[in-house]
Structure 1
Amino acid sequence: MGKHRRSRGGGDDEAETDAASQELSTGTAVAQPQQSTIPSEIANGERDSRESSSHTHSSGSLKRSAPDDDEGWTKVERGNKKRKKVPREGSNNYPAITFSPSAKLFAKINLAMLRDLVLYLFADGTGPNWVSVSHRPYFRKIVVLMVPGLEEAMFNEAVNFEKYTSGSASNQDRTETTPDDYYPRPLSAERLPIALQGFANMFPHLWPVKAPGDDKYMKLHSPMGTFLTAPMSKNKDERKGPKPAREPSGWKNERTRITEFLATLEELETAGHLIHPALIENEERRAAFRVPDGWVVSKVDKLEDGEVPEADIEQGSVTAGRECLALDCEMCMTGESEYSLTRISVISWSGDLLMDELVKPEKPITNYVTQFSGITEEMLKPVTTTLQDIQQKLLELITPRTILIGHSLESDLKALHFSHPFIVDTSLIYPHPRGPPLKSSLKWLTQKYVNREIQKGGANGHNPIEDARACLDLGENLFRRLARAGTAYKAQGGEAGGLITGKTSAAVDWGDPSKGPGAGATYQIGCKSDADVVSGVIRAVKGDADGLEIPGGGVDFVWGRMRELEALQGWWNKNRVESGNSDGGPPDSDTKLDEKLGKSPLEQCLARLSASLETIHANLPPCTAFIVYSGSGDPREMSRLQAMHSQWKREYNTPGKKWDQLSVKWTDEEEQALRRAVKKARQSVGFIGVK
């Protein structure tokens, strides 16, 4: 998980975090354990308080040992402080998370607030002002489950699951809100549908939760990434411009191959790249792929074509035998919101200038934006080079073993109408401290990590050669240092990315959790069904019987995801499945129906989900915080409209294509429909309880 803030935890501890980042790591790095506050028998749930009787009573000073002792000095342990026992349920010091009906809320809580609650319980995060946390040091474990597909309307007493449609349409167009929209709703079994009555046995309230997103830009951000990534707040001095990078604890001055930093398929899709067919694992989808008009793709048939035999790689080489090219482009406006390529610069890994060409756009330039592009009308007057000429030169220059390096390369490659599967993007390998979708500027990164100022041309604009060299230097600086700037990494300094936390964690998810945010967890447990998730969570909580992998007593923090309801609701991202994403795809639709659980497939699925959560709850040790959240509301209409908008933009920006020839339209009507769909997708729910 990324970075988080430092603060005092409501008087319960004095710890402050100095690390550049700390991770829940799907729990990995939380802050330093509160050893001075949390007794060890509570932290691991194993020791008996009677162990303290064997300690020698003393002031804790050093004294000379007896002559026959082996050591010259010995430290006498303090034994006069009694260890605390795990409190009994119902006792005065039993931990609790409660909401007072007299508390004042003015808006829905958001997903980041749930995340920060976890940081407060196990780290040194700021205490929440929307719930009351009692006896925080006695929390032994935290289990968090993400269950996409859960909606608030499902918990209405009179809901008819046979006729259920996602969400509550009556609330979508409302411009005013009432306290009922954001105050938690008490749960009682007699007022819930039979399939969901088990929730009332585990949680006192249903919380309306606002999913992460951006209403202005009509986007829904990743609920999974938001929960598992926390920004680190800075003090007043740290906010004053970029400072030289400091190495995290456990950092090693070792080289890392550039191939470790290649953008993943998911990262490329999120950034808006045209996905190269070599990245498409699904054979049918790859066979159906058609290069859009005006675009070209590099000559790479399959990803294996880019691999270099180990025997051919020089020892210690960060390029791993690959040809690394830094690329940067400048664009000018050829329409109201349309940009066209006017200059391209390509530099080799050794710093040689391989290409620096001015390009004549097909459409007339309406604004040279010289203050940014550095392009003037006089510069382009004698130019006859076209976009197609540049594309042919790139096809000759770029081979299957070529890796392209740049900053926000999706913009450059869109201007070039070019696609390549091997991308290293400095905006990704140096993530923004506050997490996606924010990106740090190339100028800021270069000043911070290379200690050099660029883009000082002022009214003369940027120099693409200078920008390309900056990307090379940022890359070389990173590959030689074995670190990703904005994130603590598991490979760096041990399991916790170099941060000594005293907390262990597990990620339990469909597919391979090690290929997503779960990579930072101490343990990853892959699953193929929700039943596997239940077993995996219980295993992570209790540990393996033989202790060979997960030690007895289990881990401190568990994050898991149950997805069968998401699949039944039709919320599963089909594009990611078709492109070979690591989640393994949705389950088969021929799941056996059990009429004893309900009359409709949805009701039966909810009954199974409720039973699964109760099974997990029953296996949790006392003093465990249990949190369930849906992550988002129904995203289907939003995804449909976003895909339509992307198609419209691609066609609109295609040279030679007229407005009346576009296959889709995008007017204010579609724009407002997308805004409503995003609003609906950001309506989620959460549940908080203590076992």
Structure 2
Amino acid sequence: MTASVNLTSMDETEVVTETCLAESVISGGAVALESESQLLKKRRRSSASKTQEGSIKESAETLGETVKKKKKKQNKNVTFKISEKALEKRISIKDLRDLTLFLMNSTNNAPKWIDIENRSSIQKVVVLFVPGLEPADYNLPKDSSFHESNHILKQSKLNIIKDISENDSENVLNFPVSAPGSRTSLFSAYNSFVNVGLTKKEKEDKKKELDKKQITINDLVLDVNDLLRCDYPIHLETEGIDDQLKEDLISLYKENDPTEEWVNTVDREEEESHIYALDCEMCMSENGLVLTRISIVNFDGKVVYDKLVKPDVPIIDYLTKYSGITEEKLEGISTTLKDVQHDILKLISKRDILIGHSLQSDFNVLKLRHTKVVDTAVCFDHKAGPPFRPSLKFLTSEFIGRDIQNDNDNGHDSIEDAIACLELVKLKIVNGLIFGIAVNTENLFLRLSKIGIRSLCLNDSTSNKGFQLVNNLAQTVGCNDDTEILNKIQETINDYQLFVGRLRNLEFSRNFAQPSIGKNVAVLTAEQSLKLVQDGVQKVYDNAPGGTAIFLLSGSGDTREWSSLMKELNSLNKEDKQIERQKKDEEIQRAVFKARDGVASMVYKQHST
């Protein structure tokens, strides 16, 4: 007999409503090429040794009865009861993250807002962020609030899981969720979920570990796994590449670059190694981003190379606000990409260190592979913590005290940006590894890996389009779209205990967010997006074993008014922005209320009897 998921009251229950007040970017980051990162699929192997066959048999004989009893206990039906008080106060993203940790046995501190019976029967958790969900998707009145309709909501059916709800309604529940933020601010729900706050002792231990030694620039150079994780084009002579990876890369390069347009830095043994900082400006063509300017400075900050570049394909958008490039600036320019590649190979040896901010993007438009890279987007943390990466503008303001990239009419300056990267790295060397690193949080997947939990994170903001090796248990895969995310969960459902995926199609369809610049995304209709999620979730449910909990959460509410207001305010200078923000305070509060009004649904698949 199937146990029900009850929404009955728990008299003495208090709900934890703290939110992660970490400021973050709501719309995802840039996505680079597929190529090398696919090879990481071949590199993800657990390092755990296999138990000898004899030991297994002996253990089975000795503990057979215990195993049977344990299995019987684990297969008991699971029941969930959400506190009425929690529904009134709103459940936070932090609450859901802490529930996930509890279900994965990372903590014995049971969440106060929900009572779970037979937790040991839960074997897997799938968390899918589906921003863009609206009350109408739950058959609620169009202009209603999830929070204010919570008593109706728990009896409603989410259309994208209607088939599951109709066949197994006792194991489905809906509840309102509050996105992280404040009265006038909205923060990233996804970021709040994947970052776990550290205790005071954990923070102190992390600081001690990072403070252990003085560093040189070599301590900041990305290793081969870092390069693969960040989707860098890989030089075949990068330290740490094994024979198998080299063989795979050679095969990949022959297939993807038959005309040999890419170049590799080479060794010049007669010279000692140097350190340079590099930055490129790019414009948009029909084929994607193309190089239009490159600047290189040496370790003393002196400009050693600065060229405007004429692409060999038509430019459809100069992106002047970001690139600083205009049609007039490129008039009369004859320098080509081939010319730049030739110059770089004469200037830079494969033993030299190149500094920059997210240099994989620069290398891709340069069609260049290099061995030693220091990336300020990697060795400095976003103030909200991973997986987000800090902007160069923020880092320069925060640590150097200088404003850059402020001229919206003239755009960025590649010399200014290269010098900023150089100065940041010098500060890092002087102050040590802890400088610019967040010590308040820990990555959810890394934390779970410490107790042997295998997890897979899937989203579109991870640069690589393949497996990234965080360690042998916690892995991330970058996907091009929602279909790929849902398919990968189905394909690997038996390989991991925790899945976290971020679906974006619906929020793009409903204009809750916009695809990043340079990202080729086919925006579907809302109906198409909902159908895609419905079919994908149904397949995940069908393929999942008993004991699997599936969470669907919007993360945030309707962000359109908030995004519009922020776009307007961010176009102003600091003083005008502050004045205008005060004028629009009530309007901002209303927009934030709507933007924080989120929703979640949980489906639990009981063990078969």
What is the TM-score with the length of structure 2 in the denominator?
0.54
Alignment of 1:72-91 (within 5 A): 79=63, 82-84=66-68
Q: Which residue of 1 aligns with 2:563?
A: 639
Cα gap change, 1:86 to 1:476, in 2 (>3 Å): farther
Does 2:503 match 1:535?
Answer: no
Pair 1:292–1:243, CA change in 2 (3 A)? closer
TM-score, scaled relative to structure 1: 0.49
Match of 2:196 in 1: 230
Distance 2:483 2:466 in 1: 21
Structure 1: any 5+ residue segments left out of the alignment? 1-43, 58-77, 160-166, 265-274, 294-298, 325-348, 350-401, 430-467, 543-553, 590-600, 654-658, 660-664
Corresponding letter in the other structure for 1:537: I
Quickly say closer, same or farther: Cα 1:92–1:627, change in 2 above 3 A. Answer: same
Q: How does 1:441-520 map to 2 (within 5 A)?
A: 472-475=426-429, 478=432, 500-510=450-460, 512=462, 514=464, 520=470
How big is the shift at 1:220? 2.0
Map of 1:162-201 to 2, 5 A cutoff? 168=143, 180-181=148-149, 185-187=153-155, 196=162, 198-199=164-165, 201=168
Amino acid at match of 1:211: A
- Greater Cα radius of gyration, structure 1 or 2: 1
Query: Residue 690 of structure 1: CA displacement?
Result: 2.0
Residue type matched to 2:402 in 1? D
| Structure 1 contact 507–518 (Cα < 8 Å) conserved | no
> Any stretches of 5+ residues in structure 2 without a counterpart?
1-47, 231-278, 291-314, 325-329, 358-373, 375-391
Q: Post-superposition shift, 1:646?
A: 1.4
- CA shift at 1:502, angstroms? 1.8
Q: Is the 8 A contact 1:211 1:631 kept in 2?
A: yes
**What corresponds to 1:111 in structure 2?**
93
**How far off is 1:560 after superposition?**
1.6
Quick one: which amino acid aligns to residue 671 of structure 1? D
Q: Distance in 1 between matches of 2:87 and 2:111?
A: 12
Does residue 555 of structure 2 align to residue 614 of structure 1? no
Asked if structure 2 preserves the Cα contact closer than 8 Å seen for 1:525 and 1:536, the reply is no
Cα-to-partner distance string for 1:373-402 (whole Å, 9 max, x where unaligned): xxxxxxxxxxxxxxxxxxxxxxxxxxxxx9
The whole-number CA distance in structure 1 between the counterparts of 2:424 and 2:480 is: 44
**Which amino acid is 2:566 matched to?**
Q
The AA in structure 2 aligned to 1:561 is R
Distance change in 2, residues 1:257/1:570 (3 Å)? same
- Matched-pair contact (CA < 8 Å) for 1:87–1:94: no
**Distance apart, 1:115 and its partner CA:** 1.0
| Contact 2:127 2:552 (C-alpha < 8 Å) held by counterparts | yes
Contact kept? 2:321, 2:412, Cα under 8 Å? no
Question: CA separation in 2, counterparts of 1:253 and 1:291?
Answer: 29
| Correspondence list, 1:148-547, <5 A | 148-156=131-139, 168=143, 180-181=148-149, 185-187=153-155, 196=162, 198-199=164-165, 201=168, 203-215=171-183, 218-235=184-201, 244-245=208-209, 255-257=219-221, 277-278=281-282, 282=289, 287-290=318-321, 312-313=348-349, 315=351, 320-322=353-355, 406=396, 408=398, 412-414=402-404, 419-420=412-413, 472-475=426-429, 478=432, 500-510=450-460, 512=462, 514=464, 520=470, 522-542=474-494
Give the structure with the higher percent helix: 2
The residue type equivalent to 1:629 in the other structure is L
Provide the identity percentage.
19
Does the aligned pair in 2 maintain the 1:213–1:219 contact within 8 Å? yes
SS at match of 2:196: coil
Q: CA deviation at 1:498?
A: 12
Distance, in Å, in 2 between the alignment partners of 1:92 and 1:540 is 22
Note if contact 1:405-1:424 (Cα within 8 Å) is conserved in structure 2: no
Is the CA contact (8 Å cut-off) linking 1:187 and 1:204 kept in structure 2?
Answer: no
- Name the counterpart of 1:128: 111
Asked if 1 retains the 8 angstrom alpha-carbon contact of 2:161 and 2:534, the reply is: yes
> What CA distance in whole angstroms lies between the structure 2 residues aligned with 1:233 and 1:480?
17
1:679, 1:652 → 2: CA distance? 24
Shift of 1:643: 1.0
Q: Deviation string for 1:549-576 (max 9, x for gaps)? A: xxxxx112111233332222122324x2
Q: Distance in 2 between matches of 1:567 and 1:110?
A: 24
Could you tell me which amino acid in structure 2 is paired with residue 538 of structure 1?
Q
Separation in 1 of the partners of 2:165 and 2:599? Answer: 13
Q: Match for 1:560: what amino acid?
A: G
CA offset at residue 244 of structure 1? 3.8
- Kindly tell me: are residues 631 and 258 of structure 1, through their superposed partners in 2, closer, same or farther at Cα, counting changes over 3 Å? same
**1:141 and 2:109 correspond:** no
| Residues 1:142 and 1:651: Cα distance change in structure 2 (over 3 Å) | same
The separation in 2 between residues aligned to 1:310 and 1:519, in whole angstroms, is 34
Other-structure match for 1:675:
589
CA drift at 1:588: 4.4
Q: CA deviation at 1:278?
A: 3.9
Say if 1:621 and 1:409 are closer, same or farther in 2 by CA, change over 3 A. same
C-alpha distance in 1 between matches for 2:437 and 2:322: 36
C-alpha separation between the residues in 2 aligned to 1:288 and 1:138?
54
Deviation at 1:226, TM superposition (A): 1.5
Letter in 1 for 2:456: A
Residues 424/689 of structure 1: CA separation in 2 closer, same or farther (3 Å cut):
farther
Q: Deviations over 1:393-443 (max 9, x none)?
A: xxxxxxxxx9997561596215986945586999xx9xxxxxxxxxxxxxx
